[in-house]
């Protein structure tokens, strides 16, 4: 943990070598997050894990300063960027197709043992933005779990909160998203 935080600090001070070592250090972990995320959503995109990690890397490397103060906040931010890359990719593909043949995803909500009937990823992105305004921590839990592919225990470690709190946030967030997506489907 200390190495990543130290490299982040050195990179912020303008050390170009530290910035490069930082990305080399976190690459394998970003690749693991991307593989877990994409393995659950194989029909979602034609993106592969290395492609997703490279796009995340490009977005992060274009920033003047690396985000996050430590390992935990960096990977939380990286999960958000991963979500953004996936949503942008899907939107781009949908625009190319002029609305026809949209690919959909399945969100296993775990609420009353229901499986949500394949909502569109864009609607999920909108629902997540609404969740962020209401409960930022629950939003982070969803991003790290659903888009980052992290386990609940990993999220608890990253956010430095108890596993029970993560489970409550995950449950609240799923219920909120299910409700929001059902409302969005009814509005169509």
Mean pLDDT of 174-183: 86
Q: Give the pLDDT confidence of 63-95 residue by residue, as tens digits.
A: 878 887 788 788 888 888 888 888 777 777 666
State the burial class of residue 26 (Cβ atoms within 10 Å of its Cβ: 0-12, 13-18, 19+). Answer: buried
pLDDT confidence of residue 113: 38
Q: Please, which pLDDT band fits residue 116 given cuts at 50, 70 and 90?
A: very low
Three-state SS sequence of 27-64: HHHHHHHHHHHHHHCCCCCCCCHHHHHHHHHHHHHCCC
Confirm whether pTM is higher than 0.85.
no
Q: What are the domain boundaries of the chain?
A: 2-187
Does 11 score more than 50 pLDDT?
yes
């Amino acid at each position: 943990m200390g190495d990543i935080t130290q490299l982040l600090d050195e990179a912020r001070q303008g050390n170009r070598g530290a910035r490069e070592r930082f990305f080399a250090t976190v690459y394998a972990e970003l690749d693991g997050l991307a593989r877990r995320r994409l393995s659950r959503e194989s029909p979602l995109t034609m993106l592969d894990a290395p492609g997703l990690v490279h796009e995340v890397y490009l977005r992060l490397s274009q920033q003047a300063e690396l985000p996050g103060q430590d390992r935990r906040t960096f990977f939380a931010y990286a999960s958000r960027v991963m979500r953004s890359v996936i949503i942008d990719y899907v939107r781009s593909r949908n625009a190319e197709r002029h609305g026809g043949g949209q690919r959909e995803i399945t969100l296993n909500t775990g609420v009353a043992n229901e499986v949500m009937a394949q909502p569109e990823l864009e609607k999920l992105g909108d629902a997540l933005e609404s969740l962020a305004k209401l409960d930022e921590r629950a939003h982070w839990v969803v991003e790290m779990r659903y888009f980052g592919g992290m386990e609940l225990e990993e999220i608890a470690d990253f956010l430095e909160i108890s596993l029970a709190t993560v489970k409550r946030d995950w449950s609240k967030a799923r219920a909120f998203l299910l409700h929001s997506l059902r409302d969005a489907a009814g509005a169509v």
